[in-house]
């Protein structure tokens, strides 16, 4: 899945379901509001950037990674932001395009097939 739109910096994707928050997230007004947060390392982020998460009671959790531009980030944005109605991004559904034969295409019965064991043009 792909996301489209402009990030409103609500910060929802930087929180875990348990309420822990990325150490790099600065809450400006309130998480979940447009421009309510900013990332201290936004320009330097990359998928796999080691981060620490801070729990509601102040404990520091190690072994977490920023998921910038990854499938995990998309999942987090959908679960923590879009489904909660705070994220400004939207999901682009990738619908496969089915091709149909043109009116002048040969019918299956008109196509030449090679005898078994031989390649066409050989």
Closest of 63, 50, 21, 52 to residue 38, by C-alpha? 21
Number of domains in the chain: 1
pLDDT surpasses 50 at 119: no
Measure CA of the first residue to CA of the last residue in the chain; give whole Å.
43
Rg (the chain; Cα; Å)? 24
Q: What pLDDT digit, counting tens, does each position of 72-108 carry?
A: 899 989 998 999 899 999 988 766 666 666 666 566 5
Domain-embedded: residue 55: yes
Is 111 a member of any domain? no
Residue 12 lies in a domain: yes
Distance between CA 72 and CA 59 in Å, rounded?
24
Q: Is residue 100 part of a domain?
A: no
Range of the domain at 75: 2-92
In a domain, 119, yes or no: no
Taking phi over 0 as left and psi of -120 to 50 as alpha, with beta for the rest, 58 belongs to: left
pLDDT at 14: 92
> Is there a domain that residue 15 lies in?
yes
Decide if 64 is inside a domain. Answer: yes
Domain annotation covers residue 60: yes
Q: Look at residue 117 and tell me whether its pLDDT is greater than 60.
A: no
pLDDT single digits (tens) 28-46: 999 889 999 999 999 999 9
pLDDT of res. 95: 65
What's the predicted TM-score (pTM) here? 0.67
The full DSSP string for 43-102 is GG--TT-EEEEE-TTS-EEEEEE--TTSHHHHHHHIIIIITTT----EEE--PPPPP---
- What is the widest separation between alpha-carbon atoms in the chain? 74
Predicted local confidence at residue 88, as pLDDT = 92
């Amino acid at each position: 899945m792909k996301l489209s739109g402009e990030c409103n910096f609500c910060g929802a994707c930087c929180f875990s379901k348990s309420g822990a928050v990325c150490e790099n997230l600065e809450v400006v007004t309130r998480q979940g509001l447009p421009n309510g947060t900013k990332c201290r390392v936004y320009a330097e982020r990359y998928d796999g950037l080691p981060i620490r998460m801070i729990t509601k009671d102040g404990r520091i959790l190690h072994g977490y990674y920023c998921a910038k531009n990854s499938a995990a980030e998309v999942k987090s944005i959908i679960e923590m932001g879009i489904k909660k109605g705070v994220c400004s991004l939207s999901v682009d559904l990738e619908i496969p395009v089915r091709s149909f034969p043109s009116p002048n295409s040969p019918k299956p019965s008109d196509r030449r097939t090679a005898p078994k064991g031989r390649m066409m043009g050989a």
